[in-house]
Structure 1
Amino acid sequence: MRFFVLTTLLATAALTSAQSFKCPPKDGQYEDSIQCDKFYNCVDGVATEKLCPDGLVFDQLIRKINKCDQPFNIDCGDRTELQPPKSSKLCPRRNGFFAHPEPQVCNIFYNCIEGDATEIKCTNGLHFDEYSGTCVWPTAAGRQGCDDSKVHTLKDGFECPKVEQTDANGQLIVHPKFAHPSDCQRFYVCLNGQEPRDLGCQVGEVYNEETQRCDAPENVPGCEDWYKDEPSSKPTKKA
């Protein structure tokens, strides 16, 4: 009985709201003045109240039949009200991109579609930003209390230095490189400055830390004789 009464009240409220909305002369879909996920479908001057799927909001300027989209793609302005959330364990609303429920976990988020959550992990070194729905640099995300204590270490003990590298123009190098301390042919790449990869130059070349490229041994101080005992390994000279 209570459910019937509640359903009747909601239906009556929706009808009253639709009746109070004045449709423009042209048929179409029009936004509500105070609720960002509510809109009106106007046909022959008659308004029918509609709601976007929970978690999405309405923008009448979208040139598609479905004008409901993610909140970070739409400026609701003063239309700050929303329908009551239909939440689940990992989805605060049935649709959208949402941060991990533990605030210290900043690199994992969930894509919720009709209440079904899919876990997504940011590329190492990035944090999820709920205002853009994407993974960004930690400084851009501005999240507090993130646990970035996990250190990635290679088998030989190499860890990516915490110091950032910049190029000649002062721009941050996203994937910095580092010379191997004892092997002239090998070098390391730190993906997003955090996750190390052990790489090497082709036989006959050594890593030049100054240019951050593989180079001829004679161009790298200390590595001139790296292949002296392997004459067959020298790169073939071009004619």
Structure 2
Amino acid sequence: MTTTRTTTGIILAVFLFGLTNAQFKCPEKNGYFPDPIQCDLYYHCSRGVSEEKLCPDGLLFDDTNPSHERCDTSVNVECGDRTELQEPQPTKGCPRANGFFRHYDQGVCDKFINCIDGVPNELPCPPGLIYDDTKSTCAWPTESVRKDCTQSKKDALEDGFSCPDGEVTLPNGRTQPHPTFPHPDDCQKFYICRNGVIPQHGSCPAGTVYNDVNFKCDDPESVPGCENWYEEDDKKPKKS
């Protein structure tokens, strides 16, 4: 009785597989075409006959060019209505064998995991950004839907400077990716905010001063309050 049931089950599975494969009709005689339901499933059509194929776990079929057989990460593939996926093949640190994922340490927001064939590789986000797993990319905390991460305490230099909030716009209307700010006491010096959040010191070449209007090093005569900066510096007593 058990043997009969097992045999019947195998026959049914083979029948269903053949039926599913037979139901796919090649749009063209030759090429690679997506399954209408499953995003990592596709078909190779040769002379009008289809062969079912499956992307490696975690990768999705890119259907933009029927002449190319390509599986890629979700960052580069738009599935649309093809929402189904194969059963995951997880390993330690990897929810699926391939792809980008949230860090396995829930308290780590500024790093993420790139899994390749089940092997996790830890990667950092740029300064100030957190990993947004809904987009599989790093994003500013204010632009991310991830609610379990909060911005850490601002970095500050030894003199107390920390990068102010908000974007800085250049005279041409573009946002300054690494904004600069004047030093309160030294015309030649200024501050740089890498990615708008990491502060560091900057200094203009000798003979020039920082201009906070055009965000560049300039002639002292062009910067109000710093016209005589180097003349005053020459009058300072030299250290022996």
TM-score normalized by the length of structure 2 = 0.79
C-alpha separation between the residues in 2 aligned to 1:16 and 1:116? 36
Partner residue, 1:206: 209
C-alpha separation between the residues in 2 aligned to 1:12 and 1:209? 75
Q: Is the 8 A contact 1:17 1:49 kept in 2?
A: no
Tell which deviates more after alignment, 148-157 or 169-178: 169-178
**Paired letter, 1:86:** Q
Q: Unaligned regions of 5+ residues in structure 1, if any?
A: 1-5, 232-239
SS across alignment from 1:71 = coil
Partner residue, 1:29: 32
Partner residue, 1:87: 90
Structure 1 residue 163 displacement after superposition: 4.3
Partner residue, 2:115: 112
Structure 1 residue 51 displacement after superposition: 0.8
> Number of paired residues?
227
1:216 to 2:219 alignment:
yes
Structure 1 residue 198 displacement after superposition: 0.4
C-alpha separation between the residues in 2 aligned to 1:211 and 1:18? 65
Structure 1 residue 37 displacement after superposition: 1.0
RMSD over aligned Cα atoms: 3.0
Q: Runs of at least 4 residues of structure 1 off by over 4 A?
A: 6-13, 168-171
C-alpha separation between the residues in 2 aligned to 1:39 and 1:155? 58
SS across alignment from 2:75 = helix
**Paired letter, 1:159:** S
Q: Alpha-carbon deviations, 1:111-161, whole Å to 9, x = none?
A: 211111222212112233445443333343332232321322223332112
- State how 1:73-222 maps to structure 2 within 5 Å: 73-102=76-105, 105-168=108-171, 171-222=174-225
**Paired letter, 1:126:** L
Q: Alpha-carbon deviations, 1:174-213, whole Å to 9, x = none?
A: 2221111222211001011100120101111111223322
Tell which deviates more after alignment, 121-130 or 99-108: 99-108
**Paired letter, 1:106:** C
1:39 to 2:42 alignment:
yes
C-alpha separation between the residues in 2 aligned to 1:211 and 1:23? 61
Change (3 A) 1:32 1:203: same
SS across alignment from 2:58 = coil
TM-score normalized by the length of structure 1 = 0.79
C-alpha separation between the residues in 2 aligned to 1:92 and 1:19? 32
SS across alignment from 2:231 = coil
C-alpha separation between the residues in 2 aligned to 1:50 and 1:165? 50
C-alpha separation between the residues in 2 aligned to 1:7 and 1:150? 60
Q: Alpha-carbon deviations, 1:22-74, whole Å to 9, x = none?
A: 34560333322221111222334443321111111123332554222222333
C-alpha separation between the residues in 2 aligned to 1:58 and 1:159? 45
Change (3 A) 1:102 1:150: farther
Partner residue, 2:3: none
Q: Is the 8 A contact 2:94 2:118 kept in 1?
A: yes
Q: Unaligned regions of 5+ residues in structure 2, if any?
A: 1-8, 235-240
